[in-house]
Chains A and B, each alone.
Chain A
Amino acid sequence: MLRIRETLNQFRGHTRGAVTGIMAAALLAGTGMATQALAQEKTITAVMHSGLRVLDPIITTAHISRNHGYMIYDVLVAVDENFEPQPQMADWTISDDNLTYTFTLRDGLKFHDGEPVTAADAVASLQRWGKRDSGGQLIFDVTESLEATDDKTIVWTLKEPFPALLDTVGKQSALPPFIMPERVASGSADEAVTDYTGSGPFIFVEEEYQPGVSVTYRKNEDYVPREGAPSWMAGGKEVKVDTVRWVTMPDAQTAINALLSGEIDYIEQVQIDLLPLLEASEDVVVETRDDLGYQTIGRMNFKHPPFDNQKIRQAAQMALSQEDVLATLIGNPQYYKVCGAIFGCGTPLADETGSETLTSGGDIEGAKKLLEEAGYDNTPVVLMQPTDVVSLTAQPVVAAQALRQAGFNVDMQAMDWQTLVTRRASQAKPSEGGWNLFFTNWMVPEINSPLISPMLNGRGDDAWFGWPEDQKIEDLRAEFIKADTPEKQKEVASRIQAHNMENVLYIPLGQYIMPQARSTKLTGMIASPVPVFWNVDKVE
């Protein structure tokens, strides 16, 4: 009842507000005060790739929530554009035996409520992150202790060396360990936080937040940027505007029109087919600031025929052509790249071993032969096609055609994405509500290491959807964890690549990038897979 009364009061307030607003606007227009106030405020209005609905960047891997996390939180360590971990909130030392990492918080770190950031806050945040993040879980598997020895010092002691610790703690996707106050981070890792106090360069304006519609960030005047130029999520995060407002526009054409008319300043992702509309404008810059982009992939169900048979999985992989998939999905070759590396081309672990047929147009005849050798009995392949996600509608259609040409009996079933994510969690037989094959996309930084790529988990029922039982991949991942030089890591990663292509844990179908568009009034946007708003200025 109280809520209904509140709503009625809102209505009365709304009506009163309308009258007051008209009078105030008339007065301000007369004095010119409104114009002056607007001239002093620098606001960036940005259309992001989706609406922000989940405000806890640790409970979800949604990119928009991660981007929100980078606005209001900070991280201890951050990987720069050379894939090197750099100090952000903390510097570190490593003991000679590589078992103890000591982090020291830098001076001047404060939460948005004015409280100083302490080592206890960092410990609680890391522990909560370790329960959600796959890389974090691997570190905590070998953790002896993690403690705050004083207000500024965090000591992380391991039972055995974990050479990739700093890379994992400093990664930018999918779940970076954002530092929250201890009172917030000590809550359950399975329930979203409701207190949005961070210590990052922007402050979340809760009273202006409309889930899925808009979110406003105000400059954190107390934030002390690190010295040095920004580089990906590392370096100095200097805020040069007063407010950043993210708005959601469900209609891509509307966003384009709004940018052309100067109502917004930035579009994070522009549909390729709409690019000509923007390219003709002198007031708009179309560019790509993330050279890594996305990898599109296919995943099979190892539990049920026919893909419980390795040879049949190999036949399916052999039938597919990356070029066909990417040309249908993206169209413009400027924005896609044929790439057989499971860790993504342009990354330190990139290796294309075993991907020859995928990257050279597929081999239908070879696939037919393999199918015959495997004794394929025409078992239907239930291929799930989401019809409501633009970036996932083409892959199933192209794959179905290639698989049929190779001799597979394909049963492509159209459904919405929500039905797909429910169904892919089912281990039932494909004929009884299960599935055989689906497609999805990952940001390359989410799959660029065996420590974080979800598809390279071979622990059966505990693995990602598809549930492969693959001891060899588990052994290789363990070997990778122990590799203590980049050369050794690369060598193990190469063997993981070869094993993936042989056992077909998943099928990499190439990379694509999404162009962005900004008003020429925006300057200083840095290259980064995560769109960030520090270092950005707006000139009138």
Chain B
Amino acid sequence: MLGYIIRRILAVIPVMVIVAVFVFLLLRLTPGDPAAIIAGDMATPAQLERIRTSLGLNDPLHVQFITWVGLLLQGELGTSLISNTPVTSMIGQRIWPTFNIAVLTIVLSVLIAVPMGVLAAWRHRTWADYAVMAFSVLGFSIPVFVIGYIFIQVFSLELRWLPVQGYKAPSEGLWAFLSRAILPCLTLATIYVALIARMTRASMLEVLGEDYIRTARAKGVAEQIVLFRHALRNAAVPIMTIIGTGFALLIGGVVVTESVFNIPGIGRLTVDAVLARDYPVIQAMILLTSALYVFINLVIDLSYTFFDPRIRY
């Protein structure tokens, strides 16, 4: 197992190198000029040229690349071309809202979706099953911003229970955090509940038809034990894959939800950086997201051994 983990971690290195080279070149080939964002509309071509030189954008590509890689090897991600702020501290400020929202969303989604999926499979082709499936279709179909606006209208503007927007860290008070996080998390959870519930239902249906389930029932094992200990555990591998991928997507940034609820997260940071051609920030975000995907995939793979002892590495 340890050898497998080390091999997987080492395999990250070539992936990151390829991503780094690809991202660097792609950005430099895309039209755009950070100097124009800095200087504003009134700057003359000569002024823009001087700013480009001061930012190092007029250096040959290989010099820019070597400078950036040199910084990376020292654990530095560079400095934003636009705001002149270290990229590490920008990501440090923006990762926590995204991380906290992602964790809460996944927890909420799993708590709601797994019982729903189990119920739908257990009561296959009954009204409960149809209700879960109808909810899933709705969850997939309604755009996330529409759900967000509906929640805001009902819970914030009509009932006045929760704030419309914003983010507070848990360190500023649990209620301050939860009151602002609950609506974006519920909004995001709508899709994930739909996804996980469907996957749970499909996986459970397959397992519930197995011989050992019939045997367990024949032996008089209580139905909840059959469902949650025997069936769900064996159905867990595909469900874990969906949960892991969903978490990675959430960490990668959910721009629309962040915009609707004004959450200063990673998604907005990335989009703003792309619009301003803030190369160091974009490069850092893509590297970070790639590393995160690799790491989360590793954790998912390792989690399979917990649910299914037949899987060994």
A28 to chain B minimum Cβ distance, whole angstroms, is: 9
Contact of B210 with A by CB under 8 A:
no
CB proximity of A137 to chain B, nearest CB, Å: 10
CA distance A113 to B33 in the complex (A): 36
Q: Which of chain A's residues have a CB closer than 8 A to the CB of B245?
A: none
Pair B88/A7 contact, Cβ less than 8 Å = yes
Residue among B42, B88, B93, B172 with most chain A CB within 10 A: B42
User: Which A residues between 462 and 494 are near B, CB-CB below 8 angstroms?
Assistant: 462-465
B86 at interface, CB cutoff 8 A: yes
Instruction: Give the size category of A's interface with B.
Output: 35 or more
Task: Tell me the complex Cα distance, A372–B74, Å.
Answer: 66
With both chains docked as a complex, state the minimum distance between the C-beta of A495 and any C-beta of chain B, in angstroms: 24
Residues of B within 8 A of A440 (CB): 41
Residue numbers in B under 8 Å from A423 (CB-CB): 31
Q: Output the least CB separation between A248 and chain B (Å).
A: 8
Q: How far is the CB of A465 from chain B (nearest CB, A)?
A: 7
Q: Are B91 and A53 in contact (CB under 8 A)?
A: no
Q: Are B169 and A61 in contact (CB under 8 A)?
A: no
Task: Give the contact stretch, choosing among B62-70, B201-209, B256-264.
Answer: B256-264
Chain A CB within 8 A of B38 CB: yes
Q: Are B157 and A261 in contact (CB under 8 A)?
A: yes
Q: Which residues of A contact B54 (CB under 8 A)?
A: 188, 190-191
A7 to B90, CA, bound (A): 10
With contacts A3-B86, A421-B33 taken as known, whether A263 is within 8 angstroms of B163 at the C-beta atoms is yes
Cα A253 to Cα B150 in complex, Å, equals 12
A7 with B92: CB separation less than 8 A: yes
Task: Assess the B264–A253 pair: CB atoms within 8 A.
Answer: no
Query: What residues of A have a CB within 8 angstroms of the CB of B92 in the complex?
Result: 6-7, 10
What's the nearest-Cβ distance from chain B to residue A330, in Å? 20
Instruction: Give 1 or 0 for each of B34-60: 1 = CB within 8 Å of chain A CB.
Output: 001111111111111011011000000
A211 at the interface (CB under 8 A from B): yes
Q: Are A21 and B40 in contact (CB under 8 A)?
A: no
The 8 A CB mask of B164-182 against A (1 = contact, 0 = none) is 1110011111111100000
Determine the distance from Cα of A188 to Cα of B55 in the docked complex, in whole angstroms.
12
CA distance A446 to B43 in the complex (A): 13
B143: A residues at CB distance < 8 A: none
Determine whether the beta carbon of B45 is less than 8 Å from that of A465.
Answer: yes
A253 touches B262 (CB 8 A): no
Q: Indicate which residue in B41, B88, B260 contacts A4 across the interface (CB closer than 8 Å).
A: B88
Contacts of A24 in B (CB 8 A): 173
A445 vs chain B, min Cβ distance (A): 12
Given A17-B171, A212-B272, A254-B164: A422 touches B157 (CB 8 Å cut-off): no
CA distance A59 to B81 in the complex (A): 13
Decide if A132 touches B47 in the complex (CB within 8 Å).
yes
* A1-51 CB contacts (< 8 Å) to partner B: 1-7, 10-11, 14, 17-18, 20-22, 24-25, 51
Q: Which of B117-171 contact A (CB under 8 A)?
A: 149, 152, 156-157, 160, 163-166, 169-171
Contact, CB under 8 Å: B173 / A21: yes
Please give, as numbers and ranges, the residues of chain B lying within 8 Å of A1 by CB-CB distance: 74-75
Which residue from B86, B172, B177, B264 sits with its C-beta under 8 Å from A214? B264
The answer to the question of B198 belonging to the interface, with a C-beta cut-off of 8 Å to chain A, is: no
Contact in complex: B170, A261 (CB < 8 Å): no
Closest to A65 in B: B40
Among B31, B40, B86, B163, find the residue whose CB has the most chain A CB atoms closer than 10 A.
B40
B102 → A minimal CB distance (Å): 14
> With A54-B38, A59-B39, A440-B41 in contact, is A210–B74 under 8 Å at CB?
no
- Bound-state Cα–Cα, A199 to B40, Å: 25
Encode contact with A along B263-286: 1 for CB under 8 Å, 0 otherwise: 010001100100111000000000
Smallest Cβ distance from B258 to chain A, in angstroms? 8
If A21-B174, A59-B38, A254-B262 are given as contacts, then 20 extra A-B residue pairs at C-beta distance below 8 Å, sorted by A number, are A5-B75, A14-B170, A25-B174, A54-B82, A134-B42, A210-B264, A211-B85, A214-B264, A250-B268, A253-B149, A253-B260, A257-B157, A260-B157, A261-B164, A418-B276, A422-B36, A423-B31, A425-B33, A461-B45, A465-B45
Q: Nearest 5 CB-CB pairs, A to B?
A: A17-B171, A61-B40, A1-B75, A211-B83, A18-B170
